[in-house]
């Protein structure tokens, strides 16, 4: 199976690319959206590329690159009453929420800002540039992944 590419959103105030750089890797817990869950659970594989996106940031945009380093497994926070991600309806026999681990790969010298992506016609058909695109885990085409990485590495 060929390598796939993803974009994963995080608010830098909660967890930033700097945090990931420091930690080396992290559990992508707390996803509570079924579409995002399905993508992680059903379609992610070890080695996949991840654009790490800062949402609710100034400016919002892709801050760096990570990669998937685990198979999907049940998000333990759903069963933890003390967690803010606790889901009282989650059943350990049939977990509702899944996650993967991701590892730091690189931090861009400059964030590839959302307005830049919107201004560049190459990204017209990228999910994150669409109006009202709230999904926190999105599939990304290889051409978009490669072009964003190129922009992120470019010195400006």
* Residues found near DNA in the complex (CB under 7 A): 9, 11, 32-35, 55-57, 60, 114-115, 118, 131-136
Determine the Cα angle at 107 with ends 15 and 119, to 5°: 95
Nearer to DNA, 81 or 132 (CB): 132
Compute the least distance from the CB of residue 83 to DNA, in Å: 14
Structure tokens at 1: 């199976």
Structure tokens at 81: 């009453």
Nearer to DNA, 55 or 70 (CB): 55
Compute the least distance from the CB of residue 117 to DNA, in Å: 10
- Tallying the residues shown for the chain, one arrives at 156
Compute the least distance from the CB of residue 57 to DNA, in Å: 6
Nearer to DNA, 100 or 117 (CB): 117
Compute the least distance from the CB of residue 129 to DNA, in Å: 9
- Nearest partner of 54 among 120, 142, 113, judged by Cα: 113
Cis before 63? omega within 30:
no
Place of tokens 């750089």: 21
Q: Is 151 exposed, middle or buried (0-12, 13-18, 19+ CB in 10 A)?
A: buried
Nearer to DNA, 33 or 45 (CB): 33
């Amino acid at each position: 199976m060929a390598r796939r590419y993803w974009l994963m959103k995080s608010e830098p105030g909660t967890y930033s690319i700097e945090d990931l750089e420091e930690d080396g890797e992290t559990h992508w817990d707390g996803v509570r959206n079924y579409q995002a869950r399905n993508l992680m659970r059903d379609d992610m594989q070890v080695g996949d590329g991840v654009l790490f996106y800062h949402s609710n940031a100034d400016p919002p945009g892709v801050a760096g690159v990570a990669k998937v380093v685990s198979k999907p497994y049940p998000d333990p926070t759903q069963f933890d009453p003390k967690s803010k991600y606790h889901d009282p309806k989650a059943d350990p026999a049939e977990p509702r929420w899944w996650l993967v681990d991701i590892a730091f790969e690189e931090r861009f010298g400059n964030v590839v800002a959302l307005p830049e992506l919107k201004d560049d016609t190459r990204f017209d058909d990228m999910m994150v540039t669409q109006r009202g695109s709230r999904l926190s885990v999105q599939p990304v085409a290889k051409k978009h992944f490669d072009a964003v990485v190129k922009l992120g590495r470019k010195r400006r």
